[in-house]
Structure 1
Amino acid sequence: MVLLDGKKTSADLKLEIAESVKKLKNQVKKTPHLAAILVGNDGASMTYVSAKVKACELVGFNSTLIELPEETTEEKLLEEIHNLNTNKDIDGFIVQLPLPKHIDEQKVLMAVDPDKDVDGFHPTNVGRMTLDLPSFIPATPFGILELLERYNVETSGKHVVVIGRSHIVGRPMSILMSQKRNAGNATVTVAHSRTKNLKEFTLNADIIVAALGIPEFLTGDMVKEGVTIIDVGITRVKDETKKRGYRLAGDVHFDSVSPKSAYITPVPGGVGPMTIAMLMKNTLLACERKS
């Protein structure tokens, strides 16, 4: 069993990005600039944004964080997005999700300039990705592809089961893995909460991408020997034995699934670090396209 170490791989990636940034500065005198808009004080969102700002510092990017109060109106948020769209110094930006309930998330994502949409959520980028055209790939699927490639996991002709159909992970992952690419050329099944006899599909899977959001849902009796497991989930589970009173659990029951696995991502330290690294990669790509 080989651990797909996202922590180490993301660190390697950041070093590579930092080298590219140095070259860019020397050649065109431009430093990539990533901005983030954070609305409200959601604890998890604040942690994620802080990690993204730190990653920018590490790779040599400029970064801007726009913090808005919970009661910010949709109109005010759209105004901030317009300002970033028209700011020539900003190469890419993200609007941290989730947003407060009084704001239309879809309307906000549609307002982002596709050329600065380094999250890869705008319909223009989703459409281009589907057609296998140059686009910004959503960071989590992008990170999974990178992990599979760097660990030389064979995907061509394999049966991939993606559990989950979100527009952030499940749907793009299913499209990307069926395309003609290094970590691709697979036969893909998309399963979800309404799938009947899910175990029949997972037992026949060579690769499983678990992105359902239910802690330890995938268990050892649901997988075959030699399977590759990509665990996208991360949930706080109450645990009085831990100092913080909780532990982090993925969508996969690691103890029962890992003995059967050829490759598996840990939680934490698997997909999560890769997501931030690929956001940096998308921002670098945005800057290079403009240069």
Structure 2
Amino acid sequence: MQTEINGIHALVPARWRSLDGIVGVHWDAEGHAGASGYYLSPDPRIMLFFNDVSDQIKVADREVDLGRGDRGLCRAIYVPAGVPMWTRFTKRHRFRHLDLHLHQDRLMRFLTPALGSSAARTALRQSVELQDPGPVATLGGLVADELSTATRHPAFAENLIGSIVTGLMDMTVDASESPAQTGRLTQAQMNRLSTHFSVNGEQRLSVSEMAALVGLSESWFATVFRQTTGKTPLQWQLSRRIEAARQLLDDEALSIAEIAAQYSFADQAHFTKVFRQFTGDTPAAWRKRRDRV
């Protein structure tokens, strides 16, 4: 693996373990503001972060995009073999992550029983980025424990990693389970939408832009999206923005007007109106009640 790292250092010695077609490494590290990294592996790679890094670490597919076209680094990513990655730190940050280097043949053994060899090879070529990895994060914690203690047979860690692979990879469903047949978006398509909004600060997208993200026409997307979520695309986006804004109300240093501006509401009055529609409270009342808890 080719790496060029500047301003990033391990806080404790890395814990690693070699398994059947897999090398797992558990890092506890820190990067300084302006730190950078370049990574290129001949093998597929999975990275699982145990704390949020999307604000502090930015990632790009090309070096020229750092600082202008980069995006927040998600908590769970799959990088196909031979795909380069550049990162930069916007501020000093400590992080823990699990790094899994997997031989391509080993990945095929994980995926082929469920997908068939052709679909498995397609999945191996698709990058995956998830801001909310769900149960995959729990599995990653168990694997990290195994790297530290190695008290069980290697098969235990290998099977945990197999579950991470099948839980993280963008596994294509067969035609009988496509949106055209079921009238619903797949979980992979919903993950793609959720991740986009998470790493871009919940900024608004048009219906056509959302449809393009999941590879559907605008008219068909609007139909299947409502059947999948019970909401229109606009309602779904608003609910996400209100939920994100509600979390920020716990920060007394931010005014309600500042929070409204951060999530692209026209002004504080507009934010208050929409917030009340979704929660039954004004932002000020919500903040005051939280203060009393």
Q: How does the TM-score come out when normalised to structure 1?
A: 0.25
Higher relative contact order at CA 8 Å, sep ≥6: structure 1 or structure 2?
1
**Greater Cα radius of gyration, structure 1 or 2:** 2
Of Structure 1 and Structure 2, the greater strand share is in 2
